[in-house]
Amino acid sequence: MLGAVVIGIGTAGCVRIRDMLVPLRGSPAEKLAVKGFISRRSLEPQQGVSRISLEEALGRDDVHVAFICTENMSHEDNVRMFLQAQKHVCVEYPMTMSYKAAVELWDLAEEKGVILHEEHIELLTEEYKQLKKEVEGKTLQEGTLHFTGGALKPGFGFPSFSGIARLTWLVELFGELSVSAATLEEDPANSYSKMTAKLLTSDNRSLTWIEERQPGLPRAKNINFQFDSGPLTQIPPAPRGTVGLFMQDLIHFSAKLAGQVSPEELQRERVRVLHCLELAGKIQELCQG
C-alpha cells in the first residue's frame, strides 16, 4: 500500500479523500491509503481523516504520495517540497503558473525517481470524448472556443492558466499551437474579465480562445469549428459516465505509480502539459505587454 496525504481541503481536496476512502474495486487506486490532510485552517477530521502538519507529512516514511489541491498560485511550492522529500505528486491543474517552473519540477521528479502527475479531468469527460470523435479525420479551417463562467476566487491566477483546461482541449483536438495575439479586457468594478487569444495550428489555421468571467455568468463552453466538411457549433451531447472524473484521474495516477503506464505515454503527457503551460505564459505576456 502507498500512504497518501491531501494538501488543501477545498472542493477538489474533499473529493480526493472521498475517492481514496472508496476506490473503484479492482483498480490500482485500491493501493492508495489516505493518511491525513494538510490545511491552513485548524479543521476537525474530514470524512474520518485527521489533519497532520506539513512537516510530519514530509518526514513520515509511510507517506509516499501527495495530492496538491490548493489554489493554483501555491501549487508550485507545494509540489517542490513534496518532490524534494521524494514523494510522488498528483497536482490539480495547472501545475505551476510558469512553463519554466514546470520544467524544473519535472526535472526534479526525474532526479528523485518519483512520479509527477497533473490532473486533467476535462479530458476524461464524456462530452470531450464525444467531441474528439466528431473532430477526428476532419480538416479545420478555423474555429472558436468561448468559455464563460462566474468569478474566480483569489489565488487562481491569470486566465490563460486558470483556464488551462480549455487550452488543453484545443491542443488535444488540433495538435501543437502557437500564439499570434492576445488581449485582456477588464472591468474591476464589475469583476468582469475577458481574455481573447488568437492561436494558430501547425498548418496555419486560426483558432480563437475566449475566457470570459463575471459573477453570475453561466458556466458554459460554446464552440464554432469550421471544417472542410461543414461546421460544428455544438458540443455533442453525451450521457454521464459511470465512473466519476476525479476517480478516473486517480486510477490513471495510481496506474502510473504501479508502473502500468508506458514511458511513451508518460512522455506524451509531459510534452502536452509543458506545451500548454508555455502557450499560457505567452498569452499572459502578450496581454500584459
Nearer to ligand NAD, 10 or 215 (CB): 10
Nearer to ligand NAD, 96 or 254 (CB): 96
Q: Judged by CB under 6 A, does residue 170 bind ligand NAD?
A: no
Nearer to ligand NAD, 69 or 145 (CB): 69
Contacting residue, 72, 78, 96, 193, with ligand NAD by CB under 6 A: 72
How far apart CA 237 and CA 287 sit, in angstroms, is 34
Instruction: Tell me how far apart the 2 most distant CA atoms of the chain are, in Å.
Output: 58
Nearer to ligand NAD, 25 or 219 (CB): 219
Q: Using CB atoms, what's the residue nearest to ligand NAD?
A: 10
Of 101, 103, 75, the closest CA to residue 89 belongs to 75
Which range touches ligand NAD (CB under 6 A), out of 11-19, 21-29, 137-145, 179-187? 11-19
Nearer to ligand NAD, 181 or 243 (CB): 243
Of 9, 74, 7, the closest CA to residue 44 belongs to 9
Q: Judged by CB under 6 A, does residue 9 bind ligand NAD?
A: yes
What is the per-residue binding string for ligand NAD in 92-121, x denoting contact by CB under 6 A? xx---------------------------x
Which range touches ligand NAD (CB under 6 A), out of 65-73, 81-89, 103-111, 137-145? 65-73
Of 269, 241, 255, 239, the closest CA to residue 23 belongs to 255
Contacting residue, 27, 39, 130, 208, with ligand NAD by CB under 6 A: 39
How far apart CA 230 and CA 142 sit, in angstroms, is 11
Instruction: Kindly report the length of the chain.
Output: 289
Helix ranges restricted to H, 114-177? 126-135, 159-162, 164-174
In our burial notation (b when 16+ CB lie closer than 10 A, e otherwise), range 180-202 reads eebebeeeeeeeebbbbbbbbbe
Which range touches ligand NAD (CB under 6 A), out of 4-12, 141-149, 253-261, 280-288? 4-12
Contacting residue, 1, 25, 26, 41, with ligand NAD by CB under 6 A: 41
Using CB atoms within 10 Å of the CB of residue 147, give its burial: 0 to 12 exposed, 13 to 18 middle, 19+ buried: buried
Contacting residue, 25, 153, 219, 240, with ligand NAD by CB under 6 A: 153
Nearer to ligand NAD, 53 or 267 (CB): 53
3-state secondary structure of 112: helix
**CB within 8 A of 160, min separation 6: which ones?**
167, 182, 195, 197, 211, 279, 280, 281, 283, 284, 287
Nearer to ligand NAD, 12 or 250 (CB): 12
Q: Judged by CB under 6 A, does residue 249 bind ligand NAD?
A: no
Nearer to ligand NAD, 23 or 94 (CB): 94
Contacting residue, 12, 65, 170, 250, with ligand NAD by CB under 6 A: 12
Please give the distance of CA 10 from its chain centroid, rounded to a whole number.
15
Amino acid at 133: K
Q: Judge contact between 91 and 29, C-beta under 8 A.
A: no
Which range touches ligand NAD (CB under 6 A), out of 3-11, 44-52, 78-86, 101-109? 3-11
- Which residues contact ligand NAD by CB under 6 A? 8-13, 39-41, 69-72, 92-93, 121, 153
